[in-house]
A and B are shown apart, each in its own frame.
Chain A
């Protein structure tokens, strides 16, 4: 459920151009990040949505036994240049997956661009059951759907909450405090 929200914030550089651009990005493969975004000594891999599942599956067979973290970022109001590698088209959302290899003590960070119009990515649940709660959290707070997740429901917010609070166009301090089943404002 993606609640309709009024855009209180101006669209930044990532306008909603036609769908053909997006299709182009899907064709592109995997790109390694330029070293400037690589602020710590881990491998950062940018991947298109179409190859996302394949790349994670390949990483798993490469020896990344654990998915230590999964989160989403909303780049709606990001002022600085995104600094993505060639072939990766910036989109509003990004899903960031942190894989961990226990045998080689290495981390790999996989970043996927997720368009605003269609915020869906395949679920990693089949590969790493441990992402169950993390994907639910990303769905709850950022409104990204995970295709194939067994139980994609809100996890932290109340079930009847509207909107996804971590989105950048979700106002802070502009929403009256909601208590569950409290009578509405008089």
Chain B
């Protein structure tokens, strides 16, 4: 009985909400109450208004107005009883965590789709407001767990741009080295899971093997395999260990050879090409309009890479190519990523040559605690050390937006400071979160079996999508 009454309460609150919010008609309230997802759900065509329908069909791109209407006109009218709305996820192995995609199917063809997210939401932006700038990097590093160093980097760059501190050269080069290694490990991880999604389990094993090599190096440098908290405001946590050059050289020698093996395994493989070529097409206009960045945008033929076009760190001092695709299909996104690994290896070799000697963190006493040896002999140094780790350092009021090119696209951090030792507002622009919007136009008109390939090619990391 109690269950029943709880259900009807919910119904009434939901219907009320609707009456004040919008005028569109909805399916029976009991249907909504059954799922508890409420309005996030995808509804039958009859109860979906036109603009929302167009959005779910992926025809929202009113940038070329004519093109969008053409899509609508070409639309075959399908009645509700001929189509079926199904869920893919959140517990689907190919959804890389807890992504749920609702799809309207006509037979095996996907007509509309809608990603439903939020299953991994842990309020990291809110947490970021409660942590001091010193602690903040431990928080952001857990967002995109496949490229934690890039998250730390964007956070640190944002804090530093508000602080106005100069970062020593060596620290900047170390940051570049680490974020490029992270790009390799992230892309190789993607190759592995993409292979797995498309049925190539051997690729899965090879990919993890190569990633392991890089994670072992990360462990040597930072002490942890993931969630390093290595790049911090003011520099990096520790200098590179002795003999790091040999490790990095070994990675630089091994990875390109293994990439050739992957080429043999996947690139030229007829089954793999069948499954990815012409699947999940996204035009450059669509990608731009949907704010897609990273390999998705580049695969559609737009040569936009923040490392090249708006350089940060010392990316303007190294040579590398921006890899772009032509067709914007799943295969192009694969090709862009595998070739970006090669470019990253190229960058790392240059970093090896150019790595200067010097400090690994700024000597600004405001940000950096005194060295251990000083604490033993000076009371002031002890107090200073204590202050930095308990209270943190104060950051002048202001606001800033910093963006870097993470393996998934533009990773941005909008930070507002109020002059205290905690950020007033910390907003992360997650590339996976934004890129997921390009899923409906990619899926539209394709087969439901291809949805696996398409979702995989977007490379969403749910930790970053939901934050």
Closest chain A CB from B157 CB (angstroms): 10
Using A67-B291, A96-B414, A102-B288 as known contacts, say yes or no to A39 and B398 having CB atoms under 8 A apart.
yes
Q: Please tell me if the beta carbons of A151 and B433 are within 8 angstroms of each other in the complex.
A: no
Q: Please tell me if the beta carbons of B62 and A134 are within 8 angstroms of each other in the complex.
A: no
Query: What is the interface residue range for chain A against chain B?
Result: 35 or more
Query: Which single member of B40, B52, B310 contacts A150 (CB below 8 Å)?
Result: B52
- CB neighbours of A126 from chain B (8 A): 62
Give the segment of B120-128, B166-174, B257-265, B382-390 that binds chain A: B120-128
- CB neighbours of A42 from chain B (8 A): 401
Bound CA–CA A157/B38 (angstroms)? 12
Q: Please tell me if the beta carbons of B425 and A73 are within 8 angstroms of each other in the complex.
A: yes
- The prevalent SS among residues of A at the interface is loop
- CB neighbours of A6 from chain B (8 A): none
- Nearest A residue to B291, CB-CB: A130
Q: Is B162 in contact with chain A by the CB < 8 A criterion?
A: yes
Q: Please tell me if the beta carbons of A165 and B126 are within 8 angstroms of each other in the complex.
A: yes
- The prevalent SS among residues of B at the interface is mixed
Q: Please tell me if the beta carbons of A83 and B397 are within 8 angstroms of each other in the complex.
A: yes
Q: Please tell me if the beta carbons of B399 and A37 are within 8 angstroms of each other in the complex.
A: yes
Give the segment of B177-185, B372-380, B416-424 that binds chain A: B416-424
Bound CA–CA A78/B241 (angstroms)? 43
Closest chain B CB from A142 CB (angstroms): 10
Query: What is the interface residue range for chain B against chain A?
Result: 35 or more
Q: Please tell me if the beta carbons of A129 and B289 are within 8 angstroms of each other in the complex.
A: yes
Query: Which single member of B36, B117, B410, B416 contacts A159 (CB below 8 Å)?
Result: B36
Q: Please tell me if the beta carbons of B38 and A71 are within 8 angstroms of each other in the complex.
A: no
Q: Is B302 in contact with chain A by the CB < 8 A criterion?
A: yes
- CB neighbours of A156 from chain B (8 A): 117-118, 121, 466-467
- CB neighbours of A66 from chain B (8 A): 288, 291
Q: Please tell me if the beta carbons of B302 and A102 are within 8 angstroms of each other in the complex.
A: yes
- Nearest B residue to A138, CB-CB: B427
Closest chain B CB from A43 CB (angstroms): 11
Closest chain A CB from B451 CB (angstroms): 19
- CB neighbours of A132 from chain B (8 A): 55, 60, 437
Q: Please tell me if the beta carbons of B425 and A68 are within 8 angstroms of each other in the complex.
A: no
- CB neighbours of B437 from chain A (8 A): 129-130, 132-133
Query: Which single member of A69, A129, A134, A141 contacts B401 (CB below 8 Å)?
Result: A69
Q: Is A65 in contact with chain B by the CB < 8 A criterion?
A: yes
Q: Which of A81-124 contact B (CB under 8 A)?
A: 81, 83, 96, 98, 102, 105, 107, 109
Q: Please tell me if the beta carbons of B414 and A69 are within 8 angstroms of each other in the complex.
A: yes
The digit string for A141-167, where 1 denotes a CB below 8 A from any CB of B, is 100000000111111111110000110
Q: Please tell me if the beta carbons of B293 and A68 are within 8 angstroms of each other in the complex.
A: yes
Q: Is B364 in contact with chain A by the CB < 8 A criterion?
A: no
Using A79-B418, A129-B60 as known contacts, say yes or no to A159 and B52 having CB atoms under 8 A apart.
no
Most buried by B among A37, A40, A69, A128: A69
Bound CA–CA A58/B162 (angstroms)? 29
Q: Please tell me if the beta carbons of A151 and B418 are within 8 angstroms of each other in the complex.
A: no
- CB neighbours of B419 from chain A (8 A): 79-80
- Nearest A residue to B413, CB-CB: A69
Q: Please tell me if the beta carbons of A155 and B40 are within 8 angstroms of each other in the complex.
A: yes
Bound CA–CA A151/B55 (angstroms)? 9
Closest chain B CB from A6 CB (angstroms): 18
- CB neighbours of A56 from chain B (8 A): none
Bound CA–CA A37/B401 (angstroms)? 12
Q: Please tell me if the beta carbons of A133 and B36 are within 8 angstroms of each other in the complex.
A: no
- CB neighbours of B40 from chain A (8 A): 153-155, 159
Q: Which of B42-79 contact A (CB under 8 A)?
A: 49, 51-52, 54-55, 60-63
Which 6 residue pairs are nearest across A and B when measured between Cβ atoms?
A130-B291, A159-B38, A80-B397, A150-B51, A156-B118, A69-B429
Given A36-B398, A68-B293, A109-B401, 15 more pairs with CB closer than 8 A:
A39-B398, A39-B400, A66-B288, A69-B429, A71-B414, A96-B399, A102-B302, A128-B291, A129-B290, A129-B437, A132-B55, A153-B39, A154-B40, A160-B36, A165-B126
Can you list 9 contacts pairing A with B, beta carbon distance less than 8 Å?
A: A40-B401, A69-B414, A71-B414, A71-B429, A80-B419, A129-B55, A129-B61, A130-B289, A181-B36
